[in-house]
Amino acid sequence: MYQYLDKVRRILNTVEKEERGSIDLAIKLLVDANENKHSIYSFGASHAGILSEEMFYRAGGMMTINAIFGREVMLDRKPITFTSRMERLEGYGTALASTVNFKSDDILILHSVSGRNPVIIDLALAAKKLGVKIIGLTNITYSKSVTSRHSSGKRLFEVADIVIDNHGDIGDAACQLNGAPQKVGPTSTVIGAAILNTIIVEASQQLVERGKGDAPVFYSANLDGGDEKNKKLFAEYHDMIHYEF
């Protein structure tokens, strides 16, 4: 048996058992937002931002999710170590928040495994001041093992309205190498993507069941008629979509 696949299966089983309540609350928030035309945003710094890319503008993904991309904390930044400096720089997240037209009852999905760095706390606090609801995806055990780098002393799980634990190992790498002290194989991306796609799938199903017609989900542009169907959905949900289509 492959060690990594076995670890991921066990974590997914734990998430399904332990995080059901928080996941259900997140599903409800997304359903309500789509019904009432409140905006949905997502953000993560560096590798945590992969989940924002996962949810943004892709076939089978929710059309009404708007990714926030901070140029200085993306993985194509050179030197790559600069991203670490920027996510630890207090004030950068506040400045980033000022570029987003947050409104009361909007939703902001924040992903940070340690939940300790200022960029994620700045964004959360700035959005909360405007009445935005925060869904925090993090690793609670890991986060409790470290101190906050933000002047508030807060970590993501302490400022989010809904907290979803990814149940990974401290340090994220999950598989111990035999004959070496190292651990390898981070799980936060695959587990986080599974959690967020679960939320999107169930929210989309509930929207259909409430008589909303087609859910705001992208058809593949490589399917015949896909572009036309996407344009129709865009017209219906355009108030929630803040990127060029």
CA gap 20, 14 in Å, rounded: 10
Which tens digit of pLDDT belongs to each residue from 106-131?
999 999 999 999 999 999 999 999 99
Q: What is the mean pLDDT of the chain?
A: 97
Res 101 pLDDT > 90: yes
pLDDT score at 15: 98
pLDDT score at 213: 83
Token pair 């999950």 in the structure block, residue: 174
**Residue range 164-189: average pLDDT?**
97
**Residue range 164-191: average pLDDT?**
97
| Number of residues written out for the chain | 245
For residue 214, the tally of other CB atoms under 10 A from its CB is: 13
3-state SS class at 111 = strand
* Position 106, amino acid: D
Return the structure tokens found at 238: 């355009």
CA atoms within 13 A on the CB side of 241: 19
Domains and CATH numbers, the chain: 3-240 (3.40.50.10490)
Which tens digit of pLDDT belongs to each residue from 197-243?
999 999 999 999 998 789 999 999 999 999 999 999 999 999 999 99
pLDDT score at 244: 86
Which tens digit of pLDDT belongs to each residue from 49-96?
999 999 999 999 999 999 999 999 999 999 999 999 999 999 999 999
pLDDT score at 13: 98
pLDDT score at 241: 96
> What are the two backbone dihedrals, phi and then psi, of residue 195, each rounded to the nearest 5 degrees?
-65, -50
CA gap 21, 163 in Å, rounded: 10
